[in-house]
């Protein structure tokens, strides 16, 4: 589609904002029974049930894809999610499920008009001076129309299909009960964590139907990539958008693969821009576009890229971004132990992991990488191999990791298609160097040091009161009435020690920040002098604090 569905919400947003909430009452097996029976008939028709029972071979990959298509919208989307799980399914089935398309017959112009007028509260002719009745694209969730605003702006209007809430709720209810039924009959399916997969799928599908959330996501991407000069993301037109209607600026460009054939001399610039936007959004903002195929990347007449379709996007929190950095560094260095530890940090909640076996598999992966030419190494393939190894040895891979892996696989495949001779890893190294330089900038270090100081200050201010409250609750608890006449003295000592701790941490932060500036890979030499001054100030500050502490307690060494 010309532009996409929705990005998963930021951590501060809650699931209660979702446009389509699964009606808990419809999760009742009785209500889902008719749809569940229909699903079982389709599975039996394509001999999938007999394969689960061990009474037949698995059907051909093509027949599995046709099964999802026959079951309709929700299952078609579920098949697309399964296509990401290379750790669960053989390659032949993955490749077939990747062919699942979500093109549906277009809605009538009457249904489109009714939705727009109900959502925006005005006649279609008043909202748009021109509205093309033939859609630019028609997919499962919505379809897009070309239109002109009264002020002359050329826009694309995305209109959601009616009655999605009832359809999705019923199908998710049936799918949930189907998984529970299959697990009760075939216990071996417990290893696949299908209920968790269905729950994550239901949440993502619910978010996908909220166009207001998508509008906020587009704003986040525009902000994160505002400093990329060769990129343009169409902006949202808020006065013509709602929960079921999304109006955006029209992107008048050409598909990047078609552009590459006409302008082979200019495609290297576009590839570098693609790599930059990928790495910058991942490591700086924790956002990423996980479906960067040629149909979602256009080239404008002035040569800038236009990024479209945010239907498959994801986000990484700060801890996961740090773990990803450590993982990539360990892969480059060939450090299997560090790679395993970083990988497990990206997958919290994993229990009963076979750590030794996982380490052996990772060693084998890194050995193959370092036997190859670095220019031929694929980041996406490496991450896919790690995912499969992790799943074999008990790791519960987070959904964001699957989306991220998919993003790298698609990006690398598109780059090879655009320019088979382009050195992707060289572009990757260039952008990593740029991000490293930003990471060691004075403003960045100053910001991190200030943040650390504020955290320590808050700890110092709150710790004495928290200590007194905790001890008072212990004294008033079930263990009896405990008298603590020296509680204030204890609080005072804690406060005094925490103040000293704050000063020590600030001094240490100065030394560490200064050392980073000294070794930072920058061209100019200003950072060396400033770094040396920071190290010196931190060192003498630490010595002063130690001398002061010894004077306060002359009997201690």
Could you tell me if 360 and 452 lie in one domain?
A: no
- Give the pLDDT band of residue 350 (cuts 50, 70, 90): low
Q: Are residues 332 and 396 both part of a single domain?
A: yes
Last residue of a domain, one of 181, 208, 235: 208
Q: What pLDDT, on the 0 to 100 scale, is given for residue 269?
A: 86
SS (H, E, C) 314-382: EECCHHHHHHHHHHHHHHHHCCHHHHHHHHHHCCCCCCCCCHHHHHHHHHHHHHHHHHCCHHHCCHHHH
**Judgement on whether residues 279 and 412 belong to the same structural domain of the protein:** yes
Quick: pLDDT tens for 298-347.
999 988 999 887 767 788 888 888 888 888 888 878 889 999 998 888 88
- Range scoring the smallest mean pLDDT among 105-114, 135-144, 411-420, 435-444: 435-444
Name residue, tokens 């450090």.
335
User: Using an 8 Å Cβ cutoff, are 247 and 157 in contact?
Assistant: yes
Q: What is the DSSP letter of 234?
A: P
Domain finish residue from 208, 237, 261: 208
237-242: Cβ within 8 A, 24+ apart: 237/149, 237/153, 237/155, 240/120, 240/127, 240/128, 240/149, 240/155, 240/157, 241/211, 241/212, 241/215, 242/119, 242/120, 242/211, 242/212
pLDDT at 17: 42
pLDDT value of residue 224: 86
Helix axes 61-71, 73-82, angle to 10 degrees: 140
Question: How many domains does the chain contain in total?
Answer: 3
| Closest CA relative to residue 160, chosen from 233, 81, 99, 246 | 246
Domain identity same for 353 and 458: no
In the prediction, which pLDDT does 492 show? Answer: 56
Contact indicator for 305, 221 with CB cutoff of 8 Å: no
Torsion of CA 544, 548, 549, 555, to 10 degrees: 130
Q: In this structure, is residue 8 part of a structural domain?
A: no
Upper half-sphere CA count for residue 557 (Cβ side, 13 Å): 0
CA distance 65 to 68: 5
Tell me what pLDDT residue 365 has.
87
Beta bridge partners of 289: 313
Find out whether 333 and 341 touch, Cβ atoms under 8 Å: no
pLDDT at 550: 62
**In this structure, are 402 and 449 located in the same domain?**
no
**Together in a domain, 416 and 460:** no
| Predicted confidence (pLDDT) per residue in 214-265, tens digit | 888 888 899 888 888 889 999 999 999 998 999 999 988 888 989 998 988 8
Q: Indicate whether 396 and 447 sit together in one domain.
A: no
Residue 259, in any domain of the structure: yes
Residue for token pair 């299997």: 336
Q: How far apart are CA 34 and CA 63, in angstroms?
A: 24
Q: Does one domain contain both 422 and 478?
A: no
- Does a structural domain hold residue 128? no
Question: What pLDDT sits at residue 449?
Answer: 55
Q: Based on the domain organization, do 196 and 318 belong to the same domain? A: no
* Paired strand residues for 249: 155
Pairing state of beta strands 231-232 and 305-307? parallel
Buried b (16+ CB within 10 A) or exposed e, 278-288: bbbbbbebbbb
Residue 226 located in a structural domain: no
Residue 112 counted as domain residue: no
Q: What is the pLDDT of residue 145?
A: 95
11, 158, 211, 462 from 236: Cα distances, Å: 22, 11, 11, 43
Domain that holds residue 324: 253-429
Q: What's the rounded mean pLDDT across residues 487-503?
A: 57
pLDDT at 1: 41
Report pLDDT digits (tens) over 181-191. 878 877 767 76
Determine the Cα–Cα distance for residues 39 and 34; give it in Å rounded to an integer. 9
Residue 260 lies in a domain: yes
For residues 161-170, average pLDDT: 82
pLDDT tens digits for range 362-417: 999 888 887 776 666 778 888 888 888 888 888 888 878 888 888 888 888 888 88
Residue 511 vs residue 111, higher pLDDT = 111
- For residue 404, what are its two tokens? 């991220």
Decide: helix, strand or coil at residue 3. coil
* Confidence bin at 27 (pLDDT 50/70/90): very low
| Percentage, residues of the chain above pLDDT 70 | 68
pLDDT at 12: 41
Q: Average pLDDT, stretch 442-470?
A: 56
Average pLDDT over residues 345-370: 83
Which ranges of 59-149 would DSSP assign to H, the alpha helix? 61-71, 73-82, 91-97, 109-120, 124-127
Residue 112 pLDDT level (bands cut at 50, 70, 90) = very high
CB atoms within 10 A of CB 477: 10
Q: How many CB atoms lie within 10 A of CB 498?
A: 18
Q: pLDDT tens-digit profile of 267-290?
A: 888 888 888 888 888 888 888 887
Residue 229, domain member (yes or no): no
Q: Would you call 180 helix, strand, or coil by DSSP?
A: helix
pLDDT at 311: 65
Cα separation, 123 vs 116, whole angstroms: 8
Q: What is the CA radius of gyration of the chain?
A: 28
* Token pair in block for residue 204: 């993502």
- Lowest average pLDDT, out of 227-231, 434-438, 543-547, goes to 434-438
Residues 316 and 381 in one domain: yes
Could you say which of 148, 176, 208 is where a domain stops?
Answer: 208
- Counting every residue, how long is the chain? 557
Would the pLDDT of 520 be above 70? Answer: no
Q: What is the mean pLDDT of the chain?
A: 76
Residues 272 and 414 both lie in one domain: yes
Least confident of 173-182, 197-206, 546-555: 546-555
- Clarify whether residues 509 and 376 are in a common domain: no
Residue 237 lies in a domain: no
Determine the pLDDT at residue 123. 95
pLDDT the model gives residue 4: 37
**pLDDT band per the 50, 70, 90 thresholds, residue 479:** very low
pLDDT tens-place string over residues 40-80 = 888 888 877 777 666 667 788 888 888 888 888 788 888 87
Q: Is 329 exposed, middle or buried (0-12, 13-18, 19+ CB in 10 A)?
A: middle
């Amino acid at each position: 589609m010309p532009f996409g569905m929705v990005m998963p919400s930021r951590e501060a947003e809650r699931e209660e904002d979702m446009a389509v909430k699964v009606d808990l009452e419809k999760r009742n097996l009785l209500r889902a029974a008719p749809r569940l029976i229909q699903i079982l008939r389709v599975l039996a028709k394509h001999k999938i049930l007999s394969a689960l029972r061990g009474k037949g071979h698995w059907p051909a990959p093509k027949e599995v894809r046709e099964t999802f298509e026959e079951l309709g919208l929700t299952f078609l989307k579920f098949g697309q999610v399964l296509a990401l799980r290379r750790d669960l399914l053989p390659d032949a089935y993955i490749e077939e499920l990747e062919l699942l398309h979500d093109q549906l017959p277009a809605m009538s112009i009457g249904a489109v008009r009714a939705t727009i007028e109900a959502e925006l509260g005005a006649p279609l002719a008043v909202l748009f001076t021109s509205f093309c009745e033939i859609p630019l694209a028609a997919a499962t969730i919505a379809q897009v129309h070309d239109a002109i605003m009264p002020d002359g702006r050329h826009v694309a209007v995305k209109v959601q299909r009616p009655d999605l809430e009832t359809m999705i709720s019923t199908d998710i209810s049936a799918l949930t009960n189907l998984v529970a039924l299959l697990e009760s009959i075939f216990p071996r399916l417990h290893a696949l964590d299908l209920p968790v997969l269905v729950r994550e799928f239901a949440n993502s599908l619910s978010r996908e139907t909220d166009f207001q959330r998508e509008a906020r996501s587009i704003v986040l991407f525009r902000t994160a990539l505002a400093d990329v000069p060769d990129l343009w993301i169409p902006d949202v037109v808020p006065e013509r958008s709602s929960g079921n209607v999304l109006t955006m600026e029209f992107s008048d460009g050409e598909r990047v693969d078609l552009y590459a054939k006409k302008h082979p001399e200019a495609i290297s610039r576009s590839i570098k821009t693609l790599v930059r936007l990928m790495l910058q959004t991942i490591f700086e903002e924790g956002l990423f576009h996980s479906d960067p195929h040629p149909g979602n990347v256009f080239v404008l007449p002035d040569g800038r890229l236009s990024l479209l379709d945010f239907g498959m996007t994801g986000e990484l929190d700060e801890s996961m971004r740090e773990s990803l950095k450590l993982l990539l560094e360990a892969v480059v260095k060939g450090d299997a132990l560090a790679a395993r530890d970083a990988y497990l940090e990206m997958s919290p909640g994993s229990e009963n992991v076979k750590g030794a076996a996982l380490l052996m598999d990772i060693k084998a992966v890194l050995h193959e990488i370092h036997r190859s030419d670095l220019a031929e190494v694929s980041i996406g393939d490496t991450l896919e191999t790690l995912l499969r190894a992790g799943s074999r040895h008990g790791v519960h891979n987070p959904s964001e990791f699957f989306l991220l892996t998919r993003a790298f696989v698609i990006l690398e495949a598109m780059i090879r298609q655009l320019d088979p001779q382009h050195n992707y890893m060289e572009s990757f190294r260039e952008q990593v160097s740029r991000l490293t330089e930003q990471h060691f900038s004075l403003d960045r270090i100053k910001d991190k040091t200030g943040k650390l100081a504020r955290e320590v200050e808050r700890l110092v201010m709150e710790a004495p009161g928290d200590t007194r409250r905790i001890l008072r609750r212990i004294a008033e608890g079930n263990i009896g009435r405990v008298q603590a006449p020296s509680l204030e003295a204890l609080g005072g000592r804690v406060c005094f020690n925490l103040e000293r701790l704050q000063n020590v941490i600030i001094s240490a932060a100065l030394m560490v920040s200064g050392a980073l500036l000294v070794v930072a890979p920058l061209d100019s030499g200003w950072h060396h002098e400033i770094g040396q001054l920071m190290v010196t100030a931190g060192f003498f500050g630490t010595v002063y604090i130690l001398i002061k502490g010894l004077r306060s307690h002359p009997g201690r060494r």
